[in-house]
Every structure is written in C-alpha cells, then in structure tokens.
Amino acid sequence: MARLAGEGLLEERRGLGYFVPLLGPVELTELYTVAQTTAASILNEPVVLPANVATQGTEMMMFDSGTILVTLAGQTASKLLRLIATNLDARLAPAHAAEASMFDLAAESAEFLERLDGNDRRLLQRFTNAYYSRRRKAALEIARRHESIARSATEWK
C-alpha cells in the first residue's frame, strides 16, 4: 500500500489508513486530456499486434477511459506507451463508477469494438477524440458523482 501511495494511486492518512484519492474536475480534465493525447500517439504508432479483445459468449466487454488506452497500447511495440496507458488506467479507475452512471458504456464499447475491428485508424482516432472530449466537458459532473459515490461507500449504514 505504501508503494501505491508513493505512486499517487492511494492517499495515506497517518493513523487512519489508505484511501482512494478523490478526483476533482481539474484533475479529471487533465487526465482526460492526457488520455486523448496518448490515444493519438498510440494510433500514430505502427500496429504490430492484432487487437486481442475476447468476448465471453454473448457478453461484450465493457470499456472505460483507461481500458480503451490499454487495449490500443497493447497493439504497439512501444513499452513507454503501454506503461503510460496502464498508469492512466489506474489513475482514472476511481472515476469509472461515476462515468458509468452518466454515459452509455455498452453503446460506447460496441462502437469502440466496431472501430477497432474495422482497422480504420482515422475512424478510431475520431472515436477516441469524441470519447475523451465528452468526458472533459462532463468533468465537473463526473467529479461530483465520484465524490458522492465515495462518500456513500464510506458511510456506516
């Protein structure tokens, strides 16, 4: 846990323990901007591996802000881009529940898979730009819902 706190993924509160940090609208906007820029960099890299996205039966995998990056980065030979994507995935993880309450993840995931399977990098770039732009514009509401979800999870019932 101390290592995760050192990486900024957890907050250490002396005498109380470790906590997932709350993400404010400014931090979320910055993370979504970096995610969009990273997606553009990934899509400019040569593809060396096919997308390895397995669907289980009729259930489709749900993609969120971080797993989209990790999936895209997994197609490149760039270790640095894979590391950045993994780090962004971890930093955006606390906001996933808030995102899920605001966006149609099933529709977005289906569109992402369609663009990924289509092998048209231009359409995939257009999708990722629109995807992260929607989240940047909604960062204030995502942060508000994230805080509300975090509070309700820590309240005694």
Q: How far apart are the first and last CA of the chain?
A: 26
- Type of residue at 30: E
Copy the structure tokens of residue 103.
Answer: 């966006």
Q: Which domain holds residue 129?
A: 22-154
Asked whether 42 and 123 are in contact (CB, 8 A), the reply is: no
Residue 96 lies in a domain: yes
Q: Does residue 1 lie in a domain region?
A: no
What confidence score (pLDDT) does residue 39 get? 94
- Whose structure tokens read 């470790």? 18
Q: How far apart are CA 141 and CA 28, in angstroms?
A: 10
**What is the predicted pLDDT for the residue at 1?**
74
Query: Is 13 inside any structural domain?
Result: no
Q: How far apart are CA 38 and CA 84, in angstroms?
A: 8
Residue 88 lies inside a defined structural domain of this protein: yes
The answer to whether residue 114 is domain-embedded is yes
* Res 23: pLDDT: 86
Confidence of residue 82 (pLDDT cuts 50, 70, 90): very high
- For residue 125, CA distances in Å to 73, 113, 131, 152, 156 come to 13, 13, 10, 37, 44
pLDDT band at 12 (very low <50, low <70, confident <90, very high): confident
pTM: 0.80
DSSP conformation class of 94: G
Q: What is the pLDDT of residue 42?
A: 92
Q: Note whether residue 9 is domain-resident.
A: no
**11 inside domain:** no
Summarised one tens digit per residue, pLDDT across range 105-125 is 999 999 999 998 888 889 999
Q: Look at residue 142 and tell me if it is in a domain.
A: yes
